[in-house]
Amino acid sequence: MKATAFWAVALLTVAAGCGDPKSGDGAGPAAGGAGDGPIKVGVAGPLTGGQAKNGEDLLDGATMAVEEWNAKGGVLGRKIEIVTRDDQAEPKLAPAAAQQLVSERVVGVIGHFNSGSTIPASEIYHKAGIVTITPSSTNEFVTDRGYPDVFRVCGRDDRQAPAASNFIVNVLKAKRVAVFDDRTAYGKGLADNVEKGLVGKVEIVFHEGFAKEERNFRPYLSKLKDANVDVWYFGGIYEQAAPMVIQARQLGITAPMMSGDGVHGYDEGFLKVCGKDCEGTLTTFPFTSADFPEKYRSRFSGKSPGPYAVFSYTAAQVLIGGVSKAGAADGPSVAKAIHSNTFDTPIGNIEFDAKGDIKERPEGSYLVWVVKDGRHVLYSGR
Amino acid sequence: MTQSRLVRLVLASVAAFLLSWPFVALGADERTGFTVTAWPALQVALLVVVSGLAFWALIEMKERWPAAAAPLHSAPRRAMSRWAAPGALFVALAVYPLFRPPADPMLGLVLDTMTFATIAVGLNITIGMAGLLVLGHAAFWAVGAYTFVLLTVHFHLNFWIAFAASGASAAVVGFLIGLPALRLRGDYLAVVTLGFGEAVRWVLKNEQHVTGGDAGIPGSEIRGNLWEPQGFLGDWLWQPGSGSDVLRECYWFALGLLAVCVLCVTLLSHSRLGRALFALREDETAARCMGIDTVRIKLIAFTSSAMWAGLAGVVTAEYRGSISPDLFDFNMSVLFVAMVVLGGLGSVWGSVLGATLLWTIPVLLQDFFPDIQRFRMLAFGAVMCAMMVVKPDGLLGKKGSK
Amino acid sequence: MLQALLNGVVQGAIYAIVALGYTMVYGILTLINFAHGEVVMIGAYAGVVTLAGLTGSGAVESAGFVPCLAASIVAAMCVAAAYGFSIERIAYRPLRRAPPLSALISAIGVSIVLQNYVMLSQPGRSAPIYAPTGTDAYRATFGGVMLQFDPGDFGKSIDRFVQGLGWDRFYVGTGAVTVLDAVIVVLCVAMMAGLWTFVQRTRTGRSMRATSQDRVMAGLVGVDVNRVISTTFVIGSALAAVAGVLISLYTTQAKFDMGFSAGLKAFTAAVLGGIGNIPGAMVGGILLGVAEAAGIQAFGAPYKDVYAFVLLLAVLILRPKGIMGERVAEKV
């Protein structure tokens, strides 16, 4: 009896799936939002899970831009609507989220957050003719595949790393350097490139990697203490950088930490948490305008923006601006419009190169910042 | 309300208050201060009373609930009727993609579910039949997927040869990890397999020159080699992904693999060997006394279940087009065990059902209730717990199995 | 090297405190309490929130840091005990007669619920919360160095010998023990001894031992089995809370998913020492911590978890029931 019921349910489920009206009318996936309804913009990133804070920044930034456009009456006479999908920062969930956004017929996607998710997801968007603009995936490979509809508004690891290594060699004139990374595509990629830039110019005492879940850094830091370095580089994000800096000071290490965009700007998670301990910490980060945080705070009742909120806002501005300039809401023409126009954004006037990266400025896209009195300020000598 | 019930209610209220206190009323934002998130005392008091009542009701209910499930009485049926319903399901699943648009997300979801069902049915041999708890099964899946990708990308082997090699390499690794199992029992074995699973993931992460490290082997690097027919007899043999519609071809391939897997494991469970496995689960000493070669049986269980995970890894790599170590983490191993246990130990169709429920529920929750998708994992955990409490022997399990 | 080994002992002591909870529940129910790591996390949150509250309200200045820390640990123990009690009632008791694996799955369900509950109900969502380790009061109490080791000539000769073998990563160096390190190790030993005495000497402890040997027989001779099991969960969870607070002080933060890694290693430690055996949990924990630290020092950090695995495999092949295990684990 029970077995029969099981089979009946199983068959009914399959039958019901066949008749699902939601996407059953057989239209191709590349429809891109033609028609009179609102233009749909996808936002995909870690809305839950260990990196949910980053996903929140992503969504907030995009929301701000969309609200501004809608207040002006939308684009092409149509309102803009955000569709969100969660990938939990897990590469294994990213393709499913991407497929769902494709079936929602978004014109473009702001996301994903992590390089590990953006790479497989953008394969799917590319096939469906949907524009991908990642606000935060810095791995070179994201744009090196040469897809015409994949863009990024943040920097690339191979631009960020030279900024750091040149600074260590030429400005700090350090002699002994240690390198740590968190074994992720982002952290290790960055640290490896920094190491490449340092080899032969300074003595690299060691290069160590640990799990991104690690929170007790004493085993590595006691090695660092014995190594007596001038500066240590960490390829990773603020969640580990904060306890690492605190524990380093507890062990009596005075050499400053240097890190990248994963640490910069997380006021709540890094600067406030470390307090006095992170004074002198060096970071590399692109230029951003000073009035964006104010705008953000007034929109989200005093909440401080995470470092990527501004890039997500920029990505949304570029995407919607592209739709407006293309005069059509289909992926390929929007991609063409983004390639051939200049956009005025909080990170400056930006243009895109053939790969889909921002064209590099003469002073370089990454600047070196230092923590002084609890704030990141541009480095200007000791 | 009697006195004792009143006392219990008060106790339950206090417990509920303690349970909710640090999280609903307070939250530490920074390291030197804390915030009270706008909860006036009255609301907190109300919350305490309401949650106390709910908590008390829950406990009362738990004690009255008939926890045991009725045993599954299945009269012996003829072979014809036994295969009729699965056959119908197979046909239904096989024609399903024809009714869907080409790049339908539902197809991807069903494909993933079928892959995980294959792994769960295979894992059922060790956990359900032989009673050996494995907490690192994702490692075999990883070995299969990586072997397949490395062979096709670096050595340009034909799909089917790489496919067989992946199953074989996972089986060999399963055999090796089965060796300590000969001496260890129960949870000691579980923790060894757990450690093994983590060790495999770290090797994949750290040996960057071979495995691509944490970023894994990305799609476009392997694409051509993976989906273009190549190698020995490459021009004559069909392979999934070589046509224009990768998703559907992988779908049918996954369905075929699941069907073969279900068939093999069902036949196994009715065979002499299967009965020996069940005997091992019920009482190892007794089984040995009856002349069952427990060493051989344990190794067979490990090897064959690892092989199915390895073959499923091929489907995963082929469909996704890119793999990375974090795909194969401990959470997936736990999920596989949960699929087997939820479906019912030793029940092949139970594992299929368990895989279907545990993989589709979170995805469908997100799809149908995107506004509350933040809460879906909360709901998922609660459902998982509730299903076990209501049906402790699994959905299709037989009562009394150890 | 010396500092690394000292760090290993402290990390091992933390593993050991968490492992005590696993081992207790296993001893009574032969059940892996998968939600135990989550109880550690709950305890850490409760403790950190209380401590942050006391710091913010000025209680630390008036009463001093140590009484406030003690108060937060007690608060954390109460909250965690309530959780342990409820988890047993809701997720384990209905499954007492079911296959042990069913309880394992419902425990996993509970831990998913708890993680997401904490993440969703916290204002910072997935962001960690920080123990007040930057305050002057904390530094004045815990920041100091207690003992300084300097092996001098002896250490230098070992250094030279080892470097002569070509292992330049081995060096003895100096080592320092901070106040917090000492507190962690002392608390670990004290709790282990207290628990052992409780189980061996008290009436409740005797009931526990009876229940662990034969639940049905214990019930027949008048032991209230349900009560004993509840007590076990309450005590185990209270210990977990202590561990949670110490972890968040040691690593400076508490995060909603911290229970996972804390639980995994502690579970390994409990098995290593012989699951179900109270002194074994401590031996296993400290051995695991030291082995990891030595492995990191000798061969580098990336394979940290692999060292733990190799140690486990080696010990279990030599002694299939763990270092101090005697009880036969029959059920799966």
Structure tokens given for A337? 């419009």
Of the partner residues B88, B101, B353, the one whose CB lies closest to the CB of residue A23: B101
The 10s digit of each residue's pLDDT in C219-271 is 999 899 999 999 999 999 999 999 999 999 998 888 888 888 888 889 889 98
* Residue C41 pLDDT: 94
Q: Are C18 and C240 in contact (CB under 8 A)?
A: yes
Tell me the chain A residues in contact with residue B349 when contact means C-beta distances shorter than 8 Å. 6
Q: How far apart are CA B349 and CA A6, in angstroms?
A: 10
- Percent of chain B at pLDDT above 70? 70
- Tell me the backbone φ, ψ of residue C60, rounded to 5 degrees: -65, -40
**Residue range C96-108, pLDDT digits in tens:** 888 878 888 888 8
3-state secondary structure chain A: CHHHHHHHHHHHHHHHHHCCCCCCCCCCHHHCCCCCCCEEEEEEECCCCCCHHHHHHHHHHHHHHHHHHHHCCCECCECEEEEEEECCCCCCCHHHHHHHHHHCCCCEEEECCCHHHHHHHHHHHHHCCCEEEECCCCCCHHHHCCCCCEEECCCCHHHHHHHHHHHHHHHCCCCEEEEEECCCHHHHHHHHHHHHHHECCEEEEEEEECCCCCCCCHHHHHHHHHHCCCEEEEECCHHHHHHHHHHHHHCCCCCCEEECCCCCCCHHHHHHHHHHHHCCCEEEEECCCCCHHHHHHHHCCCCCCCCCHHHHHHHHHHHHHHHHHHCCCCHHHHHHHHHHCCEEECCEEECECCCCCECCCCCCCEEEEEEECCEEEECCCC
pLDDT tens, residue by residue, C286-330: 999 999 988 888 787 788 888 888 888 888 888 888 888 765 444
Distance separating alpha carbons of residues B305 and B127, to the nearest angstrom: 10
Q: Which helix (H) or strand (E) holds B43?
A: helix B41-64
At C145, is the secondary structure helix, strand, or coil? Answer: strand
Residues of A in contact with C116 (CB under 8 A): 48
pLDDT in tens, B254-277: 999 999 999 999 999 888 888 898
Residues in C closer than 8 angstroms to B33, CB to CB, are 52, 55-56
pLDDT one digit per residue (tens) for chain A, 382 residues: 455 555 555 554 554 444 443 433 333 334 444 566 899 999 999 887 767 788 888 999 999 999 999 999 889 889 999 999 888 887 777 888 888 898 888 999 998 898 888 988 888 899 889 999 999 888 888 888 888 999 999 888 888 899 999 999 999 999 999 999 988 878 888 899 999 999 989 999 989 888 888 888 988 888 888 788 999 999 988 888 988 998 888 888 889 999 988 888 666 678 877 878 888 899 998 877 778 888 898 888 877 788 888 899 999 999 999 999 998 888 899 999 999 999 988 888 889 998 899 888 777 778 899 998 888 888 886 5
Q: Smallest Cα–Cα separation from C315: which of C324, C302, C326, C306?
A: C324
What is the C-alpha to C-alpha distance for residues B65 and B44, in angstroms, rounded to an integer?
Answer: 31
Rounded Cα distance, C233 and C164, in Å: 53
Burial status of residue A347 (CB atoms within 10 A of its CB: 0-12, 13-18, 19 or more): buried
Distance from CA of A72 to the nearest CA of C (A): 32
Q: Give bridge partners of residue A82 from the DSSP assignment.
A: A41
Interface test with chain C among B123, B283, B385, B401, by most C beta carbons within 10 Å: B385
C122/B23 Cβ within 8 A? yes
Structure token digits, residue A82 = 């955000």
Q: Which residue has the tokens 């009673």?
A: B131
Contact residues on chain A for B104, CB-CB shorter than 8 A: 23, 99, 103
Which residues, other chains included, contact B81 with Cβ-Cβ below 8 Å and sequence gap of 6+? none
CA distance C310 to C114: 32
Of C48, C94, C329, the CB nearest to B185: C329
Q: How far apart are CA A121 and CA A86, in angstroms?
A: 12
Task: Please state the separation of Cα B36 from the chain's center in Å.
Answer: 41
Q: Chain A residues with CB-CB distance to C under 8 A?
A: 48-53, 56, 183, 208-211, 213, 215-216, 218-220, 222-223, 225-226, 239, 242-243, 246-247, 250, 268-269, 273-277
Q: Which residue has the tokens 């009179």?
A: A36
Q: Phi, psi at residue B297, to the nearest 5°?
A: -65, -45
Among partner residues A83, A102, A119, which is closest to B103 by beta-carbon distance? A102
* Pair B186, B133: CB distance under 8 Å: yes
At C153, is the pLDDT very low, low, confident or very high (cuts 50, 70, 90)?
low
Exposed / middle / buried, residue B65 (Cβ in 10 Å: 0-12, 13-18, 19+): exposed
Q: Give the pair of three-digit tokens for residue A256.
A: 């400053």
pLDDT of residue A31: 41
What average pLDDT is seen over chain B?
Answer: 78
Cβ pair A160, A178 in contact under 8 A = no
Sign of CA dihedral A324, A326, A327, A332: negative
Cis bond upstream, residue B209 (ω within 30): no
Does the beta carbon of C299 lie under 8 angstroms from any beta carbon of chain A?
Answer: no
For chain B, report the end-to-end CA distance as a whole number of angstroms: 40
C-alpha B311/C-alpha B147 separation (Å) is 10
CA closest to A214 among chain C residues: C261
C48/B186 CB distance under 8 A:
no
Q: How far apart are CA A208 and CA B378, in angstroms?
A: 36
Coil/strand/helix, residue B67: coil
For chains A and C, count residue pairs whose Cβ atoms are closer than 8 Å.
Answer: 90
Closest by CA position to C211, among listed C17, C35, C26: C26
Nearest to A369 by CA among A278, A244, A240: A278
Average pLDDT over residues B73-86: 60
Angle between helices B246-270 and B294-320 (to 10 degrees): 170
Beta strands in C28-144 (DSSP E): 129-130
Distance separating the N- and C-terminal Cα atoms of chain A = 81
Give CA separation, B22 vs A360, B28, B37, C135, C252, in Å: 49, 9, 11, 22, 19
Q: Are A318 and A330 in contact (CB under 8 A)?
A: no
pTM of the model: 0.80
Tokens read off for B385: 């717990």
Written as six digits, the tokens of A289 are: 């305008």
Residue-wise pLDDT tens digits, B288-336: 888 888 888 999 999 999 999 999 999 998 887 778 888 888 888 989 9
H or E segment to which residue B26 belongs? strand B26-27
Beta bridge partners of C145: C178
Mutate to test the interface with A, among C125, C126, C296 (most CBs of A within 10 A): C126
Subunits with 3+ C-beta pairs closer than 8 A to B: A, C
Question: What's the token pair of residue C327?
Answer: 């009880």
Q: What is the largest CA-CA distance in chain B?
A: 82
B residues 80-99 lying closer than 8 A (beta carbon) to A: 85-86, 88-89, 92-93, 96, 99
The pLDDT score that the predictor gives to residue B234 is: 59
Cα distances (Å, whole numbers) of residue A133 to A129, A265, A334, C106:
13, 21, 12, 41
Best interface-test mutation with B: which of A82, A86, A92, A181 has the largest number of B CBs within 10 A?
A: A92
Rg, C-alpha atoms of chain A? 23
Chain A nearest-CA distance from B205, in A, is 7
Chains that touch C (3 or more CB pairs under 8 A): A, B
Confidence band of B227 (pLDDT split at 50, 70, 90): low
Highest-scoring range by mean pLDDT, A301-310, B85-94, B98-107:
B85-94
pLDDT tens for B108-154 read 889 999 999 999 999 999 998 988 889 899 999 999 999 998 888 87
Give the single-character DSSP code of B217.
Answer: B
Give the ipTM of the model, two decimals please.
0.83
CA distance A231 to chain C (A): 20
Q: Which of B29, B81, B93, B106 to mutate to test the interface with A (most CBs of A within 10 A)?
A: B106
Residue B187 CA, chain-centre distance (Å), reads: 19
The string of pLDDT tens digits covering residues B8-45 is: 667 766 666 666 655 544 544 443 344 444 344 455 55
Over residues C192-217, mean pLDDT = 91
Q: Could you tell me the two tokens for B358?
A: 């545990």
pLDDT band at C81 (very low <50, low <70, confident <90, very high): very high
List CB contacts (< 8 A) between B109 and chain A. Answer: 96
**Hey, are the CB atoms on C79 and B374 less than 8 Å from each other?**
no
Write out the E strands in C163-203.
Answer: 175-178
Pull the structure tokens for residue A137. 């995936």
